[in-house]
Amino acid sequence: MAKYANVIVDISLDKLDKTFQYLIPEELKDTIREGMQVEVPFGNRSLAGFVMELTDEAEFDESKLKPVTSLKEDGVAIESQLIALAAWIRRNYGGTMNQALKTVLPIKQKTKAVEQRSVRLLISKKEAQEYLALFEAKHNTAKARLLRELIEQDVIQYQVITQKLHVTASVVKGLEEKGILAVESQTAYRNPIGHLNPEGYDKVLNAGQQHVVDVITSDMQKEEYGTYLLKGVTGSGKTEVYMELISHVLREGKQAIVLIPEIALTYQTVMRFYNRFGKRVSIMNSRLSGGERYDQFLRAKNGDVDIMIGPRSALFTPFTNLGLIIIDEEHEASYKSETVPRYHARETAIARAAMNHASVVLGSATPSVESYYQAKQGNFKLLELSERVQKRPLPECEVIDLREELRSGNRSILSTRLQELMDNRLRNGQQTMLFLNRRGVAGFVSCRACGHVIRCPHCDVSLSQHAGGRMVCHYCGYEQPEPKVCPECGSRYIGGFKAGTQKVEEIVKKRFPKARVLRMDYDTTRTKGSYEKILSAFSNQEADILIGTQMIVKGHDFPNVTLVGVLAADMSLHVSDFHAAERTFELLTQAAGRAGRGEAAGQVVIQTYDPKHYAIEAAKDQDYETFYEKEIAYRSMLRYPPVANMLLILCTSEKEEAASQAASHLTECIQKTGNREYQVMGPADASIRKINDIYRKVIYIKAADYETLVELKDKLEHYMKEENCFRNVMIQFDFNPMNGW
């Protein structure tokens, strides 16, 4: 039991770094927790504060520390809940308490809310008339102008005074000092969607949707708050289910958070919620200014809104009576933070919900292997929607073998079959989407004649091309020279795969000169608003063909799209990351899901060098179960998450030698624990060995149990504090990493 509590007494200002240490009196030792609100002596006053950290390390001489006075009974302040969540995050993902607090308490940002100032007449109209006569007599025209207006209106916006009446601030100030008027200010919270007009709402759930809603709401009625995995095929109406659940929660006087990957958080999606809930909804995204974001948190805290829609960070909306957290497209890798603390929004949502008696609904057409595993283990309740709304058929999928195309003399990136279908769509006035899977295009080496890919013999992930003709495994550091001929078939057509969306656009325009073509990728969406512009142009049928990267496959609903072409499906299979097959299956299924969402049926063409790969076969049949069974077998065999847990330690330094040494030290230290549970891989170079002149080394540790890895992290953090060989090295932890490093 900890002896000391580090307490913060002010979270409204940017003073998070400043904690004060107090003794924990014997009688509070059992009950005090991180995040709790406490009463502490401060100077000669008594202040309320929050416990940031419980520790055994005294910052000062113990005799100089004062004891915590008491725990506050109403320790339910929203800040208190969020601080407790920060403590959970720090413990489970590493990093400092300060980093964790900055993640959960963006309310402390220094941005100010917009103030709206106005001027009010303080004296009676009769007195005002007397002053007016006086000013007119003295030819104080500005004062007279203002007063005349105030006699008529009582209150005038400050802006009107300076801009319309052309009265200066000093004149206003002069009258204020005389006690004639008062300048008042009100906070006006910016509302990023305040300009929209709700259209109303008219849908009735079908039986499948209603069943899902019934199961969850009846659990809520029984005060059972669990985690649900809603597995619903593309176009099955998951969003309607979310909205019905939200209105249930609102009726109970509670609030809801809806997480949607930033890329899918389009005007179209926001409007669906807005049409139903109007002004009770707010949104959060990275395009909002700091001030706008801050205002959304305040509106939530003040009870002005009850539904917050946004990406990962919206999870920390300070709702005081949270009832429901929805995570749409829960398989998305963007739910994992890429900066310290590297929390996963799914796990963190579950932790927050448990603290708040809220339910969590995870929705996806292609659940993450992790979540489906949890459902199979009975930790999540599985609910399914296996049909599209109005029984629209799922699209028909064909797989085209690109090796065959090469053999039959077609060197184009568009197979003969795909060209034929595109031609047909153009003639029928229907739309086509072409998806180029750019993920992981960096680095892998494959044979264009037979499709063979060079892989690590130990880790079963693709090796990556490095300078000097080397190929390296990013998990274990295994190395071999780059082959000149294919070790499988002897062909010399072996090398890195290179093709971009721009190239594809050129080819398409040349082949279909009359088609109107749009391209959406990193380059065409860099300017503000361009992303929405391309989507709405395509939605309004101003183009026949949309070419894009993974950006185009996420959750869009274009009823006139009846053909989806996947140009090189297996590219994402060769990332040096154990999630490669999962990502591929997910991307293909989601891409296919864009076809045939309207009246006309959809068709999908998947082009690949590896048609027999289980991820591609399963995507073709849109068969999640078969994919999952194969994938979980592979993960079990190699002890990858979710079957086991994995901790990545990243050591970075300007000096390569220092990073290497630190990595070896840590590895030794792990081995010295003698714990057989730990399976250590590395140290090795990270997949990008050097960024901005900072060298990067990685160690991977697998263990059956997550908690064992948390303990290991604690131990290593402790060790690092004592040893000074880590001085010029930065160490970061990443639990169950989502991307290759």
Ligand X SMILES: Nc1ncnc2c1ncn2[C@@H]1O[C@H](COP(=O)(O)OP(=O)(O)OP(=O)(O)O)[C@@H](O)[C@H]1O
456 binds Zn ion (CB under 5 A): yes
489 labelled ligand-binding: yes
643 binds Zn ion (CB under 5 A): no
565 binds ligand X (CB under 6 A): no
**DSSP state string for 155-188:** EEEHHHHHHTS---HHHHHHHHHTTSEEEEEEEE
240 binds ligand X (CB under 6 A): yes
SS3 state of residue 620: helix
Touching Zn ion, residues 371-400 (CB under 5 A) = none
**DSSP state string for 664-701:** HHHHHHHHHT--TT-EEEEEEEEEEEEETTEEEEEEEE
CA atoms within 13 A on the CB side of 108: 19
Question: What is the length of the chain?
Answer: 741
79 binds ligand X (CB under 6 A): no
Touching Zn ion, residues 713-732 (CB under 5 A) = none
- Closer CB to ligand X, 240 or 610, in the complex: 240
Of 695, 649, 74, residue with least CA distance to 340: 649
Q: Which helix (H) or strand (E) holds 326?
A: strand 322-328
Among 232, 310, 341, 682, binds ligand X (CB under 6 A): 232
Under 8 Å between Cβ of 527 and 408:
no
Q: How far is the CB of 241 from ligand X (least distance, A)?
A: 8
Q: How far is the CB of 206 from ligand X (least distance, A)?
A: 5
593 binds ligand X (CB under 6 A): yes
In angstroms, how far is the first alpha carbon of the chain from the final one? 37
Q: Is the dihedral of CA 405, 408, 409, 415 positive or negative?
A: negative
Q: Which one of Zn ion, ligand X, none interacts with residue 732, CB within 5 to 8 A by kind?
A: none
Q: How many beta carbons lie within 10 A of that of residue 210, not counting itself?
A: 13
367 binds ligand X (CB under 6 A): no
475 binds Zn ion (CB under 5 A): yes
Q: How far is the CB of 6 from ligand X (least distance, A)?
A: 45
450 binds Zn ion (CB under 5 A): yes
Token representation of residue 62: 């113990």
Of 51, 59, 8, residue with least CA distance to 33: 51
459 labelled ligand-binding: yes
DSSP state of 257: E
- Closer CB to ligand X, 272 or 352, in the complex: 272
Touching ligand X, residues 196-215 (CB under 6 A) = 203-206, 209
Q: How far is the CB of 245 from ligand X (least distance, A)?
A: 13
476 labelled ligand-binding: yes
| Gyration radius (Cα) of the chain, Å | 30
Among 389, 406, 632, 643, binds ligand X (CB under 6 A): 389
Could you give the CA distance from residue 558 to residue 430 in angstroms, rounded to a whole number?
A: 11
Among 80, 103, 191, 234, binds ligand X (CB under 6 A): 234
Q: Which one of Zn ion, ligand X, none interacts with residue 738, CB within 5 to 8 A by kind?
A: none
Q: Which one of ligand X, Zn ion, none interacts with residue 312, CB within 5 to 8 A by kind?
A: none
12-20, 443-451, 556-564, 685-693 -> range binding Zn ion (CB under 5 A): 443-451
Q: Which one of ligand X, Zn ion, none interacts with residue 206, CB within 5 to 8 A by kind?
A: ligand X
**For the sheet containing 20-23, what is the strand order?**
20-23, 4-8, 45-55, 37-42, 70-71
Q: How far is the CB of 601 from Zn ion (least distance, A)?
A: 37
The type of residue at 205 is L
Q: Which one of Zn ion, ligand X, none interacts with residue 5, CB within 5 to 8 A by kind?
A: none
Which residues would be at the binding site for Zn ion (CB under 5 A)? 447, 449-450, 452, 456, 458-459, 473, 475-476, 478, 486, 488-489, 491
Which residues would be at the binding site for ligand X (CB under 6 A)? 203-206, 209, 232, 234-240, 365, 389, 555, 557, 593
